[in-house]
Amino acid sequence: MSAVAAAAVRGRPAGPRLLDLVIDDRADLRLIGLMRMLFGAIVIRHFWPTITADRLPAERFITPWWDWLPVPGVGGYELVLWTGVVAGALMSGGLASRLATVAAFGSVRYLLVIDLGGFAHNRAYLTWMLFGLALLPTGRSFALDAVVARRRRRSPSTIGFTWPLVMLRVVASTVYLTSATTKLLNPDWVGGLVLWDRTVRTQYLIPSAFDGWIHDVLVSRWFHRVLSPAALATEFVIGIGLWFPRTRRFAIATAFAFHLSIEITASVQTFSYSGISALIIWLIPIGIDRDQPAGRSSAVGRASTGTPSP
């Protein structure tokens, strides 16, 4: 990585130097407003099955992650739920963006940890993304907050510190890498047994338009011997390729296709939407992407004119 190389040249330990680079770097975070907007909609989509269900989780068996955690009654649950929904709507519109994102994060996180049975990886991913967004100045673009500020002749800069973005990048890439690595260590997965078994057991879900040889291929053992390693390779390509500017576009395109294919073939709640929306964090050039030594990149000139946040 270029930052490590720059640090090595300066003769200082690469770790602390890289941390300085990450913590002090600023960039134009305009696109983060778009990500906030999308994740606001995802928060509403996340809560939608609960809103439209006959009963709330608080009205049936519910067990928290830890015994000491208070579980609200029906009224309390509804309050937190609707706070999250309203916060999601405000996030999408970009009104009181920071407050709305914090409220959405709190709501999603709390309702997740009071219901062990409701845990799913896509919800953990959503929680991380909301946490990161809550640390970023997301209300300065694609936001009613920005419109209001302009009307008051106080147009805020879209320059901000990028360390929360780096945090989100680490989380996002390690999700792909953890998923791939743990599968790689599982012979049943690498050999295609897991995917094949799932496909065979749920073959009634394959559309009748695929009856015939396509159906036969999809449920065949050999097809999954090939598909499984390919799926693992895809996750590795995404998780690693996103970090390098030269491979980033390819990794983003691969990730987009990967999430789209999962959305079509499996039920993963909001993961496809979150995974695709989170690709925005890789579209913003930040300090660790730049080859120039610290303090000489073009983005610094822009950054120095802005009002950083947080």
Contacting positions for another protein (CB under 8 A): 19, 21-26, 55, 57, 59-63, 65, 116-121, 124-125, 128, 131, 135, 161, 163-164, 166-167, 170-171, 174-175, 178-179, 182-183, 186, 188-189, 193-195, 197-198, 201-202, 266, 268, 271, 287, 294-295, 297, 300, 303-304, 308, 310
- Residue whose structure tokens are 């190389």: 5
Peptide bond into 310 cis (omega under 30): yes
CB-wise, 90 or 242, nearer to another protein?
A: 242
Q: How far is 31 from 163, CA to CA, in rounded Å?
A: 15
Task: Provide the minimum distance between the beta carbon of 47 and another protein in the complex, in angstroms, as a whole number.
Answer: 15
155/178 with CB nearer another protein: 178
Task: Give the three-state DSSP class for 27.
Answer: strand
Up-side HSE of residue 299: CA atoms within 13 Å toward CB? Answer: 22
Minimum distance between the CB of residue 93 and another protein, rounded to whole angstroms?
A: 27
Residues 6+ apart with CB under 8 A from 15: none
Pick 26 or 36: Cβ nearer another protein: 26
Q: How far is the CB of 62 from another protein (least distance, A)?
A: 7
Minimal distance in Å, beta carbon 144 to another protein?
A: 27
Cβ closest to another protein, residue 148 vs residue 226: 226
Burial of 39 from C-beta contacts in 10 A (0-12 / 13-18 / 19+): buried
Bridge partners, 26 (sequence order)? 161
* Cβ–Cβ < 8 Å for 286, 170: no
* Shortest CB 86 distance to another protein, Å: 25
CB 88 within 8 A of CB 41: yes
User: Which is closer to another protein, CB of 13 or CB of 310?
Assistant: 310
